[in-house]
Structure 1
Amino acid sequence: MSRGTRFWPGAALCVGLMLQACMSAPQPAASRAFFIATPQDTEAVHAFAREQDRQVQMCAETHACDRAHYIRGLAALYEDRNVAVKHFRTAAETPNGRYAAPSLQWIRLLENGRDGSQYQAALSQAAERLVRDVLEHETKDAHAAQLLKRQLKEREKKIDELTQQIDALKRVDQEVKEKIKPSRPAN
C-alpha cells in the first residue's frame, strides 16, 4: 500500500471525528435565552423588544438611558443572554442611578451560570429587586390615580360653582333688560 493510500482514510477519519465533536458540542449557555417565552407570548416579547430598541435609540433626548437599557435588558432575557448583559452593563454605568444595582445583580446572575450558591443568591436578589420595583410602581400608580380623582372632583365642584354663578348673572341680566324695556308711546 502506498503512503498516499494510507493517508486519505486516516485523514477522513480525523475530519469525521472532528466534525462529529463539533456538532455534538453544546452551545455556550451565554448565547441562549435566560427565560423561554411561550409560543403565545413570542410575538409580544419580540414586539416589546423592538419598542425598547427604539427607546434605547431615543433615550439621550429624555436623559433616561439607564432606564431604557435596563428595560431592554429585561426584554433580552427572553432572547439572548449576551444582549441582556450588554444592556445591563450600559444601565450599570450610571453608578448612583436607580437601575445600577439591579443591573449588576442581573449581570452576576447571567455570567455565573446556574451552578452553586452564588447563582441562588443572585437569583434571589434579582427577584427581590424586581418584585420591589413592581410594587413601588404599582404604589405610585395607585397614588397618582387617587390624586387625579381628587383633582377631578375639585374641578367638577369648581365647574358647578361657576355654572351657578353664570346662571345667576343671566337671571340678573334678564331682569335688568326687562326693567329697561322701552315703553311704546301711546298712539
Structure 2
Amino acid sequence: MDFTLHVPVPTFVYKYISKIFRDPKKEFYDWRLSTHLKEGKFVYALLERSLCRYEKMKPNEIILPITIPHDMATRKGVFIPQESVDLFIGFIKQVIMDEVVLFHTGIKARQGLKEIDKVSINQYMADDKVRLLRINTKEAEKFFWQKAIVKDVLAKYDITEDEISAESVVKYLQRHSQFHYSAS
C-alpha cells in the first residue's frame, strides 16, 4: 500500500515539480516519489519515521501531494519535518536559480547561439508588447538581465512575476553566486 504525504509548499515549487514529473498525457495529481532524479533523491533523504510526533507545518500557498511507494515507506518512513520541508523549498529554488545561471552562461559563451545570427527580444511597455527587437548575439549578454529575458526563463515552468520576481532573481544571484552580475 502506497502512502500519500501532503506537503505545504509555495506555488513556484508546485509548478516546478508538476512540470518536471507530470505525465504529458494526464493531469498532474500527485508526484510519485522515485530516486531516478535529483529532486526525488533529495526528498527520499528527508524522509524519516514519526513515532508519536506532532509538528505543525507552516502554511504555504498550495499542497504538494507526494505518493511514497510502500517499499520506500517501510525502509525510511513517511514523515518530513518542517525544517526539512524548508530545505526542500530552498533546494528547488536553487535548482531554478542554477538554470538561470546556466542560461546566462550559455549566452555569455555563445553556446547554442553560434548558429543564430540574431536574438529576438520582445520589448514591453505597461505589459503590452510594443515591438520585437533583434539584436546581434554578441550583444545578447548585455540584455540578459532585462526583466523580459529572466521572465522567459522562469516561464518554462509557468512561474509568474508574483511568485518569483525578476529583481529577486538578480539579487539572489548577486548574493549567493561566485559570479558578479549587474542589474540593468
Please report the TM-score for the alignment, with normalisation by the length of structure 2: 0.28
Q: Relative contact order, CA 8 A, sep 6+: which one is greater?
A: 2
The answer to which structure has the higher helix fraction is 1
Larger Rg: 1
Please report the TM-score for the alignment, with normalisation by the length of structure 1: 0.27
